[in-house]
Structure 1
Amino acid sequence: MFRVLHLADLHLGYRPDLPAPVQEEVYRERNGVLQAAVDLALDPRRGISLVLIAGDLFDNHRPEAPLVEETIRELGRLEAAGIQVVTVPGNHDEITYNDSVYRREANRWPGLLVTEPMPAKVATLRLNGDTCHLVAMAYTGGVTRVDGPLKAFPPAEGEGVNLAVFHGSLDWDGGERSLPLDGEALSAAGYDYIALGHIHRGGQRQLGRGLACYAGMVAGKGFADPGTGSWTIVTLGDGPALVEQVAAAVRPWRVVDVDVTAFHAPEELEAAIRELIDPGALVQVRLTGSIAFDLDLEGLQARLGHLCSYLDLVNDTAGWAPELLESLAAEPTIRGLFVRRLQEKLAGAAGPGEAAVIRRALWRGLLALKGGCGPCRL
Structure 2
Amino acid sequence: MFRVLHLADLHLGYRPDLPAPVREEVYRARNRVLQAAVDLALDPRQGISLVLIAGDLFDNHRPEASLVEETIRQLTRLEAAGIQVITVPGNHDEITYNDAVYRREAGRWPGLLVTDPMPAKVATLKVKGDTCHLMAMAYTGGVTRVDGPLKAFPPAEGEGVNLAVFHGSLDWDGGERSLPLDGEALAAAGYDYIALGHIHRGGQRRLGRGLAVYAGMVAGKGFADPGTGSWTIVTLGDGPARVEQVPARVTPWRLVDLDVTAFQEPEELETAIREALDPGALMQVRLTGSLAFDLDLEGLQARLGHPCPYLELVNETAGWTPEILESIAAEPTIRGLFVRRLQEKLAGSAGPGEAEVIRRAIFRGLLALKGGSR
Task: Provide the residue aligned with 2:137 in structure 1.
Answer: 137
Task: Provide the residue aligned with 1:2 in structure 2.
Answer: 2
Task: Provide the residue aligned with 2:282 in structure 1.
Answer: 282
Equivalent residues of 2:12, 2:59 under 8 A apart: yes
Distance 1:351 1:62 in 2: 51
Task: Provide the residue aligned with 2:307 in structure 1.
Answer: 307
- Amino acid in structure 1 at the alignment position of 2:204: Q
| Range with bigger deviation, 355-364 or 338-347 | 355-364
- Amino acid in structure 1 at the alignment position of 2:158: G
Gap runs ≥5 in structure 1: none
Task: Provide the residue aligned with 1:156 in structure 2.
Answer: 156
Distance 2:334 2:238 in 1: 78
Distance 1:64 1:353 in 2: 48
Task: Provide the residue aligned with 1:248 in structure 2.
Answer: 248
Residue aligned with 1:163, SS: strand
Equivalent residues of 2:318, 2:360 under 8 A apart: no
Moved over 6 A (4+): none
- Amino acid in structure 1 at the alignment position of 2:194: I
Task: Provide the residue aligned with 1:96 in structure 2.
Answer: 96
Task: Provide the residue aligned with 1:238 in structure 2.
Answer: 238
Task: Provide the residue aligned with 1:117 in structure 2.
Answer: 117
Q: How many residues align?
A: 374
- Amino acid in structure 2 at the alignment position of 1:191: Y
| Range with bigger deviation, 93-102 or 297-306 | 297-306
Distance 2:305 2:254 in 1: 14
> Shift in Å at residue 347 of structure 1?
2.6
Superposed, 1:209-228 pairs within 5 Å as: 209-228=209-228
Distance 2:349 2:31 in 1: 50
- Amino acid in structure 2 at the alignment position of 1:91: N
> Shift in Å at residue 350 of structure 1?
3.7
> Shift in Å at residue 354 of structure 1?
3.4
- Amino acid in structure 1 at the alignment position of 2:161: V
Distance 1:278 1:72 in 2: 35
Task: Provide the residue aligned with 1:16 in structure 2.
Answer: 16
Task: Provide the residue aligned with 1:264 in structure 2.
Answer: 264
| Range with bigger deviation, 306-315 or 348-357 | 348-357
> Shift in Å at residue 345 of structure 1?
2.4
Distance 1:291 1:4 in 2: 52
Residue aligned with 2:86, SS: strand
Equivalent residues of 2:193, 2:212 under 8 A apart: yes
Once superposed, what is the RMSD of the aligned Cα atoms? 1.0
Distance 2:225 2:202 in 1: 12
Superposed, 1:54-73 pairs within 5 Å as: 54-73=54-73
Residue aligned with 1:110, SS: coil
How does the TM-score come out when normalised to structure 2?
0.98
Residue aligned with 1:307, SS: coil
Task: Provide the residue aligned with 2:316 in structure 1.
Answer: 316
> Shift in Å at residue 264 of structure 1?
1.2
Superposed, 1:344-355 pairs within 5 Å as: 344-355=344-355
Distance 1:345 1:223 in 2: 37
Task: Provide the residue aligned with 1:78 in structure 2.
Answer: 78
Equivalent residues of 2:296, 2:372 under 8 A apart: no
> Shift in Å at residue 357 of structure 1?
3.0
> Shift in Å at residue 355 of structure 1?
3.0
Distance 1:65 1:9 in 2: 19
Deviation sequence 1:137-191 (CA, Å, 0-9, x none) = 0001111111110001111111110000000000000001100000000001000
> Shift in Å at residue 51 of structure 1?
0.4
How does the TM-score come out when normalised to structure 1?
0.97
Gap runs ≥5 in structure 2: none
